[in-house]
């Protein structure tokens, strides 16, 4: 399970959406369960990302080419979920029983975002102060049961937006970073351009699967697209 932490508006949902799009295009079962956006908003974001794959940040793209990309990702599952009733377990059951995700095998599941995943205890919904840690534990267990890659975008504490890159900057109880196998912290680097695009820096705060590192990404705000270093030229395309 990977925790993707960033301040609001930094591009964590856009990055997660791109991962789902890329996984689906590559033929892997992929799903985005989102507690913040409607199905229509999620589809709009993926439509814009398909445009970015072809025309970069601002280039003009023909509708036929966009639809061709989306057709290749047609199996991607977009779920607008409710923080009052859609638990990690209910998302899991929906993917298994409705969308035919493998009981054990490669798949990508994004749950956006961690702090809103409801957790039910013996006496009802768990207190919000403990909710994040319990949700992280449930999602990590889900990844173990099925061999799925689970990605959880999560918000930073407001007071930590400009602080150092430490696990203590994460919102929620201490179990949140403990349960995650990998913790990525995304921060905006410098001011955004007038076109709404900008640069991001990613710090690996924890990784049980390999060495920690720091790298840079581009954010094409108009098209909700996260670009890797070797795609920087796409900002000038068109």
Share of the chain above pLDDT 70, in %: 88
Higher pLDDT, 131 or 229: 229
Angle, vertex CA 181, rays to CA 186 and CA 119, nearest 5:
90
Q: CA-to-CA distance for 120 and 166, rounded, in angstroms?
A: 30
Dihedral-angle region of residue 63 (phi above 0 means left; psi in -120 to 50 means alpha; beta otherwise): alpha
Structure letter (DSSP) for residue 192: P
In order of their start, the domains of the chain are 2-236 (3.40.50.300)
Q: Is the pLDDT of residue 116 over 80?
A: yes
**Whose CA is closest to 205, among 164, 166, 151?**
166
Q: What is the pLDDT of residue 232?
A: 77
Q: What is the pLDDT of residue 233?
A: 81
- Using 50, 70 and 90 to split pLDDT, how confident is the model at 224? very high
Q: Is the pLDDT of residue 131 over 80?
A: no
Average pLDDT over residues 154-169: 59
Q: What is the pLDDT of residue 215?
A: 92
Q: What is the pLDDT of residue 45?
A: 94
Q: Is the pLDDT of residue 237 over 80?
A: no
* Joined tokens for residue 81: 């979920």
**Whose CA is closest to 117, among 129, 107, 131?**
131
Hunting for tokens 């932490």 — which residue is that?
5
Predicted confidence (pLDDT) per residue in 34-53, tens digit: 999 999 999 999 999 999 99
State the greatest distance between any 2 C-alpha atoms of the chain, in Å, as a whole number: 57
Structure letter (DSSP) for residue 127: P
Q: Which of 3-12, 61-70, 122-131 has the lowest mean pLDDT?
A: 122-131
Predicted confidence (pLDDT) per residue in 61-71, tens digit: 999 999 999 99
Residue 9, classed as helix, strand or coil, is coil
* Joined tokens for residue 67: 């639809």
Average pLDDT over residues 91-98: 97
Predicted confidence (pLDDT) per residue in 182-215, tens digit: 999 998 888 888 998 999 999 998 999 899 899 9
Q: Is the pLDDT of residue 229 over 70?
A: yes
Q: CA-to-CA distance for 201 and 193, rounded, in angstroms?
A: 16
Q: What is the pLDDT of residue 238?
A: 46
Q: Is the pLDDT of residue 163 over 70?
A: no
Strands (E), 100-197: 108-112, 120-121, 124-125, 149-155, 182-189
Higher pLDDT, 163 or 197: 197
- Using 50, 70 and 90 to split pLDDT, how confident is the model at 128? low
Instruction: Give the strand pairing for 124-125 and 149-155.
Output: unpaired
Residues in the chain: 238
Burial of 18 (0-12, 13-18, 19+ CB in 10 A): buried
Predicted confidence (pLDDT) per residue in 71-94, tens digit: 999 999 999 999 988 999 999 999
């Amino acid at each position: 399970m990977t925790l993707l932490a960033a301040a609001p508006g930094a591009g964590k949902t856009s990055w997660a959406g791109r991962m789902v799009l890329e996984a689906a295009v590559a033929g892997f079962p992929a799903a985005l369960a989102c507690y913040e956006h409607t199905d229509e908003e999620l589809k709009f974001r993926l439509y814009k990302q398909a445009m970015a794959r072809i025309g970069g940040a601002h280039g003009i793209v023909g509708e036929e080419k966009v639809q061709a990309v989306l057709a290749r990702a047609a199996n991607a599952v977009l779920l607008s979920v409710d923080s009052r009733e859609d638990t990690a377990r209910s998302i899991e059951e929906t993917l298994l029983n409705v969308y035919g995700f493998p009981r054990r095998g490669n798949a990508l599941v994004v749950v956006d975002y961690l702090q809103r995943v409801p957790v039910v205890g013996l006496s009802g919904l768990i207190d919000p102060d403990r909710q994040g840690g319990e949700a992280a534990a449930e999602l990590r267990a889900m990844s173990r049961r099925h061999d799925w890659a689970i990605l959880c975008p999560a918000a930073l504490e407001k007071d930590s937006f400009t602080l150092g890159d430490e696990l203590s900057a994460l919102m929620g109880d201490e179990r949140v970073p403990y349960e995650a196998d990998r913790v990525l912290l995304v921060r905006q680097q410098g001011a955004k351009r007038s076109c709404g695009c900008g640069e991001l820096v990613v710090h690996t705060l924890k990784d049980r699967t390999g060495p920690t590192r720091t790298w840079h990404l581009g954010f094409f705000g108009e098209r909700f697209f996260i670009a890797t270093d070797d795609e920087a030229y796409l900002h000038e395309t068109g």
